[in-house]
Structure formats: structure tokens, C-alpha cells
Structure 1
Amino acid sequence: MIPRDLKVFQAAAIAEAVSWAGLLAGMFVKYLGSGNEIGVQIFGPVHGVLFMVYVASVLVVCRNHFPSVKELAIGLACSIPPFFTLYFDRRVMRRWKSEPQEAKVS
């Protein structure tokens, strides 16, 4: 059974990537398309909130499951480039699944 904090982290990582896609599409329309700013006006604040949720969830997951500064730094760095949160999500879940059962219970 996947712990709740990892489920929240996964949802945050996926939502942050989706918001990146929306923001990039909005910027494309604004700067290379019709000049309409509605996409940026909608997805900009949404992406900002989801970015903060992702960062908070990385802090919680690293504290609870992977207490290393290196893992924390990688997770936080993955919040900057578009779609890298999906990479870190896969990395965290792969590591969590490879942990011994005793470590998962405590």
C-alpha cells in the first residue's frame, strides 16, 4: 500500500507537469500566435500554486522516506525545467518499491 504522502507527491508532480504544458501552450499563443494572453493569465497562477505544492511535497517525502540532502536537491532541481517532476516521481517510486518491507512499515 502506497503511503498517503507519496500519493500526494505523485499527484503534485503530475499536476505540476500538466500545468507546465498549459503555461507553455499559453505562452506559445501569446508570443507566436494571436497574442491572446488568456492562457498565460489562467495557467500562470495555477502553475505557481502547483509549483509550491510540489516543492512542499518533495520536502515531506524526502524527510519521511529518503533523508538525504542529495535526493532533496535533485527533487528541488527537478521543479525548475518543464516536466522534470515526472522524472523525479518515477525515481522516488522506484526507490520506494525497492525498499525492504520493514522500512516501509515504520
Structure 2
Amino acid sequence: MNLRNSFRLVAFSEGVSYILLLFVAVPIKYLGNNESFVKMLGMPHGILFVLYIAMAFTIRPEQKWSNRTFALVLIASLIPFATFYVDKKYLRTTT
């Protein structure tokens, strides 16, 4: 598996973990008074988030991203569903 495909996998996993954390675990915590899902999903999401950022720095020279594109890729890690946009716009090949 090449670096781009590895980054795609991490971006997808980070995006899914973020969505689960925000839209499943946090509501259960506050509406159901049950912290277990936040504790269960928080650490894996944190690891995936750090891995996403580190891999973005690693893959940047290979992808020849401009400063603007690179900033968008980094900001995408903070916005729900945005890592899926990064995958579609910047990582998928058109072959």
C-alpha cells in the first residue's frame, strides 16, 4: 500500500471516528448520562487525528500541495465530514 492510499485510509477512519464521537457518543453522554461511549471512542479518534496530521505533513511533498491546499487538508480534520471531501478532491486518482 502506498503512502497516498494509507493516508486515504487514515482520513476515512478519522472522519468516521469523529462523526461517531460527535453524533453518537456525545449525545449519549449528555442525554443518556452515560460516558462509556465517549471513553471508548475518544482515544482511538485522538490517535487517528494525530496520525492524520502527521501523515498530511509526510504526504505533502509527494502531492505537491500549495500552502492553501495543505491548510485546507489540515483544517478538514476539525470539521465533520470534511476528510471525505479531502479524499474526493485531493486524494482519489482519476484513472
Question: Normalising by the residue count of structure 2, what TM-score does the alignment of the two structures yield?
Answer: 0.88
Q: Is the 8 A contact 1:62 1:72 kept in 2?
A: yes
**CA RMSD, aligned part only?**
1.6
Equivalent-residue separation in structure 1 for 2:12 and 2:76 (angstroms): 12
Match of 2:15 in 1: 17
- Once the two structures are TM-superposed, the CA of residue 93 in structure 1 deviates from its matched residue by 2.6
**C-alpha distance after superposition, 1:36-84 (max 9, x if no partner):** 1010001111111000111112112222112421111010011111121
Equivalent-residue separation in structure 2 for 1:43 and 1:74 (angstroms): 25
The 3-state SS of whatever aligns with 2:33 is coil
**Identity of aligned pairs, percent?**
32
Flag the structure with more relative contact order, 1 or 2, with Cα contacts below 8 A and sequence separation at least 6: 2
Equivalent-residue separation in structure 2 for 1:61 and 1:21 (angstroms): 24
Match of 2:38 in 1: 40
Equivalent-residue separation in structure 2 for 1:8 and 1:49 (angstroms): 15
Match of 1:31 in 2: 30
Equivalent-residue separation in structure 2 for 1:84 and 1:67 (angstroms): 17
Equivalent-residue separation in structure 1 for 2:14 and 2:37 (angstroms): 16
Q: Is the 8 A contact 2:21 2:38 kept in 1?
A: yes
Match of 1:75 in 2: 73
Q: Is the 8 A contact 1:22 1:39 kept in 2?
A: no
- Once the two structures are TM-superposed, the CA of residue 27 in structure 1 deviates from its matched residue by 0.4
Please identify runs of 4+ aligned residues in structure 1 that moved more than 6 A.
none
- Once the two structures are TM-superposed, the CA of residue 4 in structure 1 deviates from its matched residue by 0.5
